[in-house]
Structure 1
Amino acid sequence: MNIQNQKCVMIIDENLPLGIIANTAAILGITLGKKLPEVVGQDVWDGSGQAHLGIIEFPVPVLQSSVKEIREIRKTLYTEDFQDILTVDFSDLAQHCKTYYEFVKKMEKTCETQLRYIGLALCGEKKKVNALTGRMSLLR
């Protein structure tokens, strides 16, 4: 991965309660880390000699959006021009499940059009990610 030409962002429903926003960002980040382990830097040591696990080597802005706009972006990501963007999606269906097994079983019975996406993480060519998210504000 060429870090200079790549960009990762998270897009989260701005109307969610703070705890759900935090949980959504955590879930998206963990999955990004699994899919892109090469962007996590080496462990570091502070001046006292204490070790700290490596973190991602570049910023990941967290952007605010509406559920409607998140759905539209997700729809665009299915098109040929954007299929190369690594996409992690998180839905209210997933957020309400207590176990991964429950999530898998519910997803098997749910059409994609029924999903209500509450968060996305995108990572790919900077120009493409900016085309989808460049007008969005940081989540504050």
Structure 2
Amino acid sequence: MNFDAAVHKCVIVVDSSLGLGHAVNAVSVIGVSLGRSVEGLVGPAMQSSDNVNYPGVIYAPLPILRATSDYLQVLHKKALLDNDIHIMPFSALAQSCKTYQEYEARISEANSSSIELVAIGLVGPQKSISKLTGNLSLFK
């Protein structure tokens, strides 16, 4: 996907039952992954007038929304049906692992229907993303 802020919308939806530390962890992991996997989502580095470098930031607002665990599963299934939506799911399984190697071993043995999501990042056409998430409130 090639991100265009005039056409696309980006959101992260977090399980409303997560504690603050786990929610922040989930959002940060999804943010890093989206920045890496969605072309054009992050702008170029900038420099201040005194030549201090400031790395690029996301081109569009990034609302952090909340939903029930059940709705995260529904949201994931609905998003999978739309080829124009880039999906970045983050699971309780991933959050429980201490190393990437542990995550790799455990996820490869798990059936996707049994993987509990704690958050999901979505990037796609504004109308499609709004239809899926427009009824959700901000994570506070």
Tell me which interval the TM-score lies in, with the shorter structure as reference length. over 0.9
2:68 corresponds to which of 63, 66, 69: 66
Q: Which residue in the other structure is 1:83 paired with?
A: 83
Q: When the two structures are aligned, how many residues end up with a matched partner? A: 138
**Counterpart-to-counterpart distance in 2, 1:6 and 1:77:** 14
| % identity of equivalent residues | 28
Cα RMSD of the aligned pairs, angstroms, is 1.2
Unmatched runs of 5 consecutive residues or more in structure 1: none
1:38 corresponds to which of 37, 40, 52: 40
**Aligned residue runs from structure 1 range 1-140, under 5 A:** 1-79=3-81, 82-140=82-140
Amino acid in the other structure paired with 2:94: A
User: What TM-score does the superposition give when structure 1 sets the normalisation length?
Assistant: 0.93
Q: Which has the higher helix share?
A: 1
Amino acid in the other structure paired with 2:106: K
| 1:80-139 Cα shifts (integer Å, max 9, x gaps) | xx1320000000000001111111111111111111100000000111101100011111
User: What TM-score does the superposition give when structure 2 sets the normalisation length?
Assistant: 0.93
Unmatched runs of 5 consecutive residues or more in structure 2: none
Amino acid in the other structure paired with 1:35: S
**Counterpart-to-counterpart distance in 2, 1:106 and 1:97:** 9
Contact 2:80 2:87 in 1 (8 A): no
Equivalent residue of 1:119, what SS?
strand
